[in-house]
Amino acid sequence: MDIQNPILEHYAPLNQEAILKILNDLETQMDGFGEKLKITRKAFNVVTEALQNIAKYASPSPDEEVNPCFVLDRQADKYQIASGNLVEASRVEALRQRLEGLNQLDWYGKQQAYKDAIRGNLKNPSRDRNSAGLGFIEMARKSEQPLQFEFVPLDYRHQYFLLKITIYK
């Protein structure tokens, strides 16, 4: 996925403790680079959403050999956030449609999708508050670039979902 200078990497199952450590490391790294606050906040938000997405939705590996992955890559003009996790093959088409739909939206469309997701969550109080459908929308909004993704078939029940988000400096 065009990784050139990884500054943070994680290749193991994720839990809240691991996510907090990665986010603390991210903050330390960005401070060390003297990065602008606006870029640091964008990166922090996107990384948080990507990690939460893996922790919440990754399918467990049937053989425990296929782990989630996360890489933050620093390049001269951008940061690239790459993540990967196992998903049930039955979910792939819905994920693909969701991501392709977000990639077709302009800035205003993404803002409207965000508002619609919030309204939908407010109208349905029985819905899980932690799954308001905002994760991919937030990543698309913060990155201001198309979300790059790929599904790699592993077996008839699972595919590996790779997602790359770019944040220009």
The three-state DSSP-derived secondary structure of 98-114 is HHHHHHHCCHHHHHHHH
pLDDT score at 128: 52
Q: At what angle do helices 135-143 and 92-104 cross, to 10 degrees?
A: 30
Q: Tokens 């602008």, residue? A: 36
Task: Tell me the pLDDT band of 117, cut-offs 50, 70 and 90.
Answer: confident
Within 10 Å of residue 51's Cβ, how many Cβ atoms?
Answer: 23
Confidence of residue 49 (pLDDT cuts 50, 70, 90): very high
DSSP letter (8 states) at residue 10:
E
CB atoms within 10 A of CB 42: 22
User: Given this model, what pLDDT does residue 131 score?
Assistant: 52
User: Which strand (E) or helix (H) includes residue 160?
Assistant: strand 158-168
Q: What pLDDT, on a 0 to 100 scale, did the predictor assign at position 3?
A: 75
* Complete DSSP assignment for 26-92: HHHHHHHHT--HHHHHHHHHHHHHHHHHHHHHPPPPSSS----EEEEEE-SSEEEEEEEEEEEGGGH
One of 3.30.565.10, 1.10.10.10, 3.20.20.140, 3.40.50.360 is the CATH number of 6-168, namely 3.30.565.10
